[in-house]
Amino acid sequence: MKKIALITGASKGIGFALTEKLLNENFFVIGTSRSGKFENLESENFYPLKLDLSNTESIKAAHKEIFSNFKHLDFLINNAGIGPDLGTYIPEKESFNQTFDVNVTGTVFFTEPLIELINENGIILNVSSKMGSLDVCELTDSVAYRMSKSALNMYTKILTNRLKGKIKIASIHPGWVKTTIIESNLKNGRLTPEESADNIWEFLINEFESGTFWNSETGTELLW
């Protein structure tokens, strides 16, 4: 029986590359996007799912569809995230709220009901960022994005404590990746989405301690 992975934000960037990687590794993948549509991705082992993490009704509809069609999950990869304030220095309320709606609130309340579907020894992976580390923060930009990733890391720690011995939980920094989350990343990013996906895959298939915050670009543990 194929293992089943659910990946949010799977229509582009790291999420799309992870979807292709897991399909190639013989997984069945449920991939979400805001439109529910995917270009250049056709596989009998792929299930497209419409999900807008900023919309409560969309989350409820996605849950209904998942529970109606699937009896279990092996991986839940919370990859979807936004960063409208990346590169800015003064927080702005609308973009601040948007960031937390997706990166924190939507992610938490999408995850919670799905925990009962995840097999024992399954994995919840939160795609975070070293920008959310309290220990290494030295800059003053991207207030909402940094704070949202710090909050996501706290959720990782809480789930680690709650699900000890049942499900493994981790936060992962995907590296500086050439994605459209901010235009400068396309020019300055060190990794392609495919390279980042390969690094994340290596983390997933190797034994790791639940509650880890991992830098997949350097292959080292991060300080919280």
Q: What is the pLDDT of residues 35-75, one digit of tens each?
A: 999 988 989 999 999 999 999 999 999 999 999 999 999 99
99 vs 177: which has the higher pLDDT: 99
In CATH, what number is assigned to the domain containing residue 155?
Answer: 3.40.50.720
Note down the domain range covering 13: 4-221
Q: What percent of the chain stands above pLDDT 90? A: 91
Rounded Cα–Cα distance for residues 61 and 134 (Å): 35
Q: What is the pLDDT of residues 102-146, one digit of tens each?
A: 999 999 999 999 999 999 999 999 999 999 999 999 999 999 999
DSSP-derived letter for residue 223 is P
pLDDT over 80 at 220, yes or no: yes
pLDDT over 70 at 90, yes or no: yes
- How many domains are contained in the chain? 1
Runs of H (alpha helix) within the chain: 13-24, 56-69, 93-100, 107-114, 143-162, 183-188, 193-205
How many CA atoms, within 13 angstroms, populate the side-chain half-sphere of residue 184? Answer: 6
Rounded Cα–Cα distance for residues 29 and 218 (Å): 27
Element (H, E) at 40: none
pLDDT over 70 at 3, yes or no: yes
pLDDT band per the 50, 70, 90 thresholds, residue 15:
very high
